[in-house]
Amino acid sequence: MESIIPNFQFAMPTPEVTVLKMSHKFMINYNYLVVDPITREAVIVDPAWQTEKVDEALVEANAHLVGVLVTHSHPDHIDLAAPLSKKYECPIWMSKQEVKFSNYRAEHLVPIDESPLKVGNIVVQPIFTPGHTPGCFCFLIGDNLFTGDVLFAEGCGMCPDTESAYSMFESLQRIRTLIKPATRIFPGHSYGRKPGQLFEDVTKENIYLQFDKKESFAAFRLRSGQKKSFIFNFS
């Protein structure tokens, strides 16, 4: 498979990643503020629920928000997208496929493809990874991959049917092809392990990355008795 990740001829500065743990009723999500250390321009990934935490993180980082990255359109991943984009007058970046699937609308919504995005001196590489929803994106920024509900340290996102499970299998295989072992994985949820695990460790320990056939992957992903899939890490 041909890589979509450009071979840039300049040294990209190391992005600063701030982990924001957000809670609402029984739900816990992880949002991520990613800052260019030179320009202090920042993006936030999948913002939800607690605006004050985002505002405080921006002040502490001495950064200004220039974009909202959305991995997919489920409510717990877009809750603050429109309010933040309006407050900071910045775009919401969501895949064209997800916009079409969800019919999501917002004043500053910009449908995107896999073309790289520039945020100051850092580059955001969108990666199309359908399965959990038809238009899921992961975002590679430096040596950090923001995976939403596609890949967790301990598993992968739910799939509604067999065809979507097949898509998820192909997406995980694509991630394995594109992503370096030293990349850190920042998912939308944790089921016990902290965000920022090395991909080489996730590859060894995540059962969903051990399958080599889509049929066996789909059968396991769609198995019955998965109520614990919704028990998030409250530590």
Residue 173: which CATH number? 3.60.15.10
On whether residue 173 sits in a domain, the answer given is yes
Say how far apart CA 101 and CA 181 lie, in whole Å.
32
For residue 191, what pLDDT is reported? Answer: 87
On whether residue 232 sits in a domain, the answer given is no
On whether residue 9 sits in a domain, the answer given is no
What pTM was computed for the model?
A: 0.93
On whether residue 81 sits in a domain, the answer given is yes
On whether residue 65 sits in a domain, the answer given is yes
The per-residue pLDDT of the chain, averaged, comes to 92
| Residue 221 host element (H or E) | helix 214-221
pLDDT tens by residue, 52-108: 999 999 999 999 999 999 999 999 999 999 999 999 999 999 999 999 999 999 999
Token pair, residue 41, equals 């321009």
Say how far apart CA 32 and CA 18 lie, in whole Å.
6
- Whether the CB-CB separation of 202 and 151 falls below 8 Å is answered with yes
Per the structure, the complete domain to which residue 150 belongs is given by 16-224
pLDDT tens by residue, 6-62: 655 457 899 999 999 999 888 889 999 999 999 999 999 999 999 999 999 999 999
Say how far apart CA 39 and CA 119 lie, in whole Å.
9
On whether residue 231 sits in a domain, the answer given is no
Total tally of structural domains belonging to the chain: 1
On whether residue 234 sits in a domain, the answer given is no
